[in-house]
Amino acid sequence: MNIMRWTDIITLITATRRLSENGIPVSSGETYRNVRAVKKSTGHKDFLDAYKAGLKAELLFDVRSVEYNGEKLLEHEGKRYRIYKTYLKGTDGITELKVTDLG
């Protein structure tokens, strides 16, 4: 049996937007939520898939699906990443986040 270790804390980031006086959407900041995660290294297939899309696969994070709300950014250990792909893993309530470095 594979036991998941929820030892990492990631910050899920949502860009907030509002309408300007002219009715144009503009950025009004960000909201942050900390959730527990399992950090994993990328495999060869993940690396190649990202490379074909012009990205560099950095890490994978497993999070509980009920805690993921479609955020596009996350921060881990002071480094910011873009979530470029998500994958719902079976029926066990886990979503895998594939991320690339924004730096």
Q: Which of 28-32, 48-52, 79-83 has the lowest mean pLDDT?
A: 48-52
Round to whole Å and give the CA distance between 36 and 95.
Answer: 12
Asked if residue 3 is part of any domain, the answer here is: no
CATH number, domain of 24, equals 2.40.10.270
Name the domain count of the chain.
Answer: 1
Identify residue 37 by its one-letter amino acid code: A
Find out whether 9 and 36 touch, Cβ atoms under 8 Å: yes
Round to whole Å and give the CA distance between 54 and 50.
Answer: 6
Q: Which two tokens stand for residue 82?
A: 């873009």
Find out whether 69 and 63 touch, Cβ atoms under 8 Å: no
Asked if residue 81 is part of any domain, the answer here is: yes
Asked if residue 67 is part of any domain, the answer here is: yes
pLDDT band at 2 (very low <50, low <70, confident <90, very high): low
pLDDT per residue as tens digits for the range 5-14: 888 999 999 9
Asked if residue 1 is part of any domain, the answer here is: no
Round to whole Å and give the CA distance between 14 and 35.
Answer: 14
pLDDT per residue as tens digits for the range 84-101: 989 998 778 999 999 988
Q: Among residues of the chain, what percentage have pLDDT more than 90? A: 49
Domain hosting 15: range is: 8-101
pLDDT above 60 (res 38): yes
Helix (H) or strand (E) holding 101: strand 94-101
pLDDT per residue as tens digits for the range 61-76: 999 999 999 999 999 9
